[in-house]
Structure 1
Amino acid sequence: MANVFVEARPKGRPEGSAIEGYVVEDHADNVLGSFSTQEKAIAWAKGNNHSPVVARVRHLNDKKKPDHWRSA
């Protein structure tokens, strides 16, 4: 199973602004799917044999730093 990243959208949104949805991305920032909730994004990833990870802190989401992510 490959790790995929569940991220909130819009990317780079100001602190306190609303989240419009979530995407599942691979390590190369390719969007594999868009979802209305984080729960749906995680369920889709698991259902497609991926290992979803989510950011420990929303603004710290460097995919090259494993400490920024936790398993979902």
Structure 2
Amino acid sequence: MTAAYIEHRPRSTDSQADTVHFTIVADGNDNGRYATQAAAKDKACADGYHPVHVARVRHLQDRDQPDHWRSDPC
């Protein structure tokens, strides 16, 4: 299966904005709303996505920056 990215929502340029939920982004689509990164990561792994990239919790949404992501071994 394709790669999945675990991102926080809402997207914001405000570094003080709170994270409301996490989502799985695969094939350009948001899939689900999860209370924690761990819950979203576990669901992505269970659904067969590989690799799963988990965003470091900060307000960057640049998928092209490797420092923004950590890979999860599932």
Q: Fold-level match, TM-score > 0.5?
A: yes
Output the aligned Cα RMSD: 2.1
**Structure 2 residues without counterparts, runs of 5 or longer:** none
2:14–2:59 Cα contact (<8 Å) kept? no
User: Who is 1:17 aligned against?
Assistant: 17
1:10–1:20 Cα contact (<8 Å) kept? yes
TM-score by length of 2: 0.74
Offset at residue 60 of structure 1 (A): 3.2
Query: What is the alpha-carbon distance in structure 2 between the residues aligned to residue 57 and residue 37 of structure 1?
Result: 11
1:26 paired to 2:26? yes
User: Who is 1:41 aligned against?
Assistant: 40
**Structure 1 residues without counterparts, runs of 5 or longer:** none
What CA deviation, in whole Å up to 9, does each residue of 1:36-64 have, x standing for no partner? 11110000000001132122463333224
1:61–1:69 Cα contact (<8 Å) kept? no
2:10–2:20 Cα contact (<8 Å) kept? yes
User: Who is 2:69 aligned against?
Assistant: 69
Over 6 Å off, 4+ runs: none
Query: What is the alpha-carbon distance in structure 2 between the residues aligned to residue 2 and residue 16 of structure 1?
Result: 32
Percent identity at matched positions? 34
Change (3 A) 1:27 1:12: farther
SS at 1:2 equivalent:
coil
Offset at residue 67 of structure 1 (A): 4.6
